[in-house]
Amino acid sequence: MKKTYSIIGLLTVLLIGISCESSVLEPAVDCSSSTLILNLVAKSDAHCGQADGSLEVQGNGGEGPFQYSLNNGSFQSGGLFTNLTSGNYTVNVKDANECTSTLQVSILNEDGVNMSTNIADSGCGTAEGQIVITATGGVEPYTYSINGGAFGSDNTFAQLEAGSYTVVTKDASNCETSENVTVLSGISFNSSVAQIISSSCATSGCHAGSQSPNLSTFSNIQQFADRIKARTSAKTMPPGGGLSDAEIEAIACWVNDGALDN
């Protein structure tokens, strides 16, 4: 028997296809429930001007085998990193499910200057960030540099956009220490991004449960943050656009900050 469809039925099918098809996101392992953590096993500080520091980390929980990287470099099977100069390092562990955990480790100058930083947010799409350096030890006076620029006596770097920066402190004996720091935009998930997603993406018939993934929970939103940014920036989620430029920028800034639970 030949099947027939009513005009209303055909329109319904078409509308359902349009409403969510272009914003379907592929499922992935839920790392929000992972028990993976990264522990510091041992650390050796460096002597001034020498790359003789080291650190060793070990992943626990999650699902082995583990791989480790230093300052977002290539992953390796062991957690020992040697030939390090003084400075702050970001160590990552990745398990078999591609879940990750991060640890910050400071290698100090045993016999020279050391520093700490205070960082102010830049704002989303603005350049109001600031890095203030506090130096200790070594021989005064201190001088400071950012991103390979000339050294100067001012310990404050202002009018910074969101992003990564390398700051260096040098004392009067030419002993140096460096730190890679990140200036965030400061966009809050709870006060900004959550409402955008709940009203425009995690809606009935779409990503509130009927389409994968369910974006009505923070853990899923965080897990798919990069895809949400890509789709909203391309104006394919929600289909046909629907978000203002300010809303799209807020999502992008939040994701670029690391998709924080803030």
Give domain limits for the chain: 33-107, 114-183, 187-262
**More confident site: 51 or 13:** 51
Cα–Cα distance, 207 to 217 (Å, whole number):
10
CATH number of 114-183: 2.60.40.1080
Cα 87 to Cα 109: distance, rounded to the nearest angstrom: 8
- What distances in angstroms separate CA 251 from CA 124, 157, 227, 233, 246, one per listed residue? 10, 27, 11, 9, 9
Span 50-77, pLDDT tens digits: 999 999 999 999 999 999 999 989 999 9
What's the predicted TM-score (pTM) here?
A: 0.75
Tell me the backbone φ, ψ of residue 207, rounded to 5 degrees. -90, 35
The dihedral built from the CA positions of residue 23, 27, 28 and 30, taken in this order, carries a sign that is positive
pLDDT of residue 170 exceeding 50, the answer is yes
Omega into 239 within 30° of 0, i.e. cis? no
**Across 72-113, where does the E strand assignment appear?**
80-84, 87-94, 100-107
Domain 33-107 falls under CATH 3.40.50.720: no
